[in-house]
C-alpha cells in the first residue's frame, strides 16, 4: 500500500549551491548524500518531517553525473525544477505489479537500487498525467528509506 510521499525529486545543475539554498532559506539540512551511478545522479536527501508510519518526507536534490542520464536529459530540455514524485510503500513489488495490471507502464521489470539501499521503480509520466512517479521501499530494518550515514 502506498502510504506517504517519500520524496519529491528536484533536478539541479549545481548540487552544492542548491543544498545551500535550502539550508540558508529554510534551515533544512542534508541527512544523506550519495552517488547512484546506475541512475546517473549525485544526490542529497533533505529531511522535511517524520510521518506517523515511522517514515519521513524528503526533498531529493539531483545533479546529473552524465548528460545522457534521465536527469541530464531532462535538465537540458527543461532547466531546473521538479523532476518526479515518489510514493513510499512497504512492498514495491506488489504495488508496482498492481499498477502494471491497471495498464500503467512500469519502467523496470524488477525494482532497482535506490537511495540508502532502498528499492525503487518508476511509472511512465505519459501514463500518469505528466508526472514521473517513483515507488520506493526502504531497506529492511531502516525506519525510513534514507537514514543518515
Ligand atoms: N516528468 C514529466 N515528463 C517527462 C519527464 C519527467 N521527469 N521526463 C521525460 N518526460 C516526458 C518528456 O517531456 C517527453 O514528452 P514529449 O514527447 O511530449 O516531449 C517524453 O516524456 C519522453 O521524454 P524524453 O526526453 O524522450 O526521455 P526518455 O523517454 O528517454 O526518458 C523516462 C523518460 C521517464 C523514461 C526517463 O526519464 C526514465 O527512465 N526515468 C526514470 C529514472 C530516473 O528518472 N532516474 C533519476 C532519479 C533517480 C532517483 O529518484 O533516485
Ligand atoms: Co527519487
> Domain containing 116 — which CATH number?
3.10.180.10
Q: Is 39 annotated in the active site? A: no
- Which residue's C-alpha cell is 518526479? 84
Rounded CA separation 138/117 (Å): 7
Q: Share the mean pLDDT of the chain.
A: 92
pLDDT category, 56, cuts 50, 70, 90? confident
Choice between 141 and 2, residue whose per-residue pLDDT is larger: 2
Domain tally, the chain: 1
CB-based contact 134:112 (threshold 8 Å): no
Q: Please list all protein residues whose beta carbon sits less than 5 angstroms from ligand 2, which is an ion.
A: 9, 60, 86, 134
pLDDT category, 142, cuts 50, 70, 90? low
3-class secondary-structure state, position 4: strand
The CB density around residue 13, as the number of other CB atoms within 10 Å, is 11
Rounded CA separation 118/115 (Å): 6
CB-based contact 55:4 (threshold 8 Å): yes
Residue 11: what pLDDT? Answer: 98
- Say if 73 falls within a structural domain: yes
- Say if 85 falls within a structural domain: yes
Eight-state DSSP code of residue 148:
-
- Say if 38 falls within a structural domain: yes
End-to-end alpha carbon distance in the chain: 27
- Say if 67 falls within a structural domain: yes
14: containing domain: 2-137
Among 31, 43, 63, 146, the active-site one is: 43
pLDDT category, 13, cuts 50, 70, 90? very high
Among 39, 83, 134, 146, the active-site one is: 134
CA of 101 to the centre of ligand 2 (A): 23
List Cα–Cα distances, 20 to 9, 29, 30, 137, in angstroms.
17, 9, 10, 28
Residue 110 has pLDDT above 80, yes or no: yes
- Say if 144 falls within a structural domain: no
Residue 50 has pLDDT above 90, yes or no: no
Q: Is 34 annotated in the active site? A: no
CA of 19 to the centre of ligand 1 (A): 23
Amino acid at each position: 500500500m502506498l502510504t506517504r510521499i517519500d520524496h519529491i525529486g528536484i533536478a539541479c545543475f549545481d548540487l552544492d549551491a542548491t543544498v545551500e539554498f535550502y539550508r540558508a532559506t529554510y534551515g533544512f539540512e542534508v541527512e544523506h548524500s550519495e552517488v547512484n551511478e546506475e541512475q546517473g545522479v549525485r544526490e542529497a536527501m533533505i529531511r522535511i518531517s517524520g510521518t506517523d508510519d515511522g517514515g519521513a518526507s524528503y526533498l531529493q536534490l539531483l545533479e546529473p553525473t552524465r548528460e545522457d542520464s534521465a536527469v541530464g536529459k531532462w535538465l537540458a530540455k527543461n532547466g531546473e525544477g521538479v523532476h518526479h514524485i515518489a510514493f513510499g510503500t512497504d512492498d514495491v513489488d506488489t504495488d508496482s505489479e498492481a499498477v502494471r495490471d491497471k495498464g500503467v507502464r512500469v519502467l523496470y521489470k524488477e525494482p532497482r537500487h535506490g537511495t540508502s539501499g532502498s528499492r525503487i521503480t518508476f511509472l511512465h509520466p505519459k501514463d500518469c498525467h505528466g508526472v514521473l512517479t517513483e515507488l520506493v521501499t526502504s531497506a529492511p530494518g531502516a525506519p525510513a528509506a534514507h537514514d543518515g550515514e
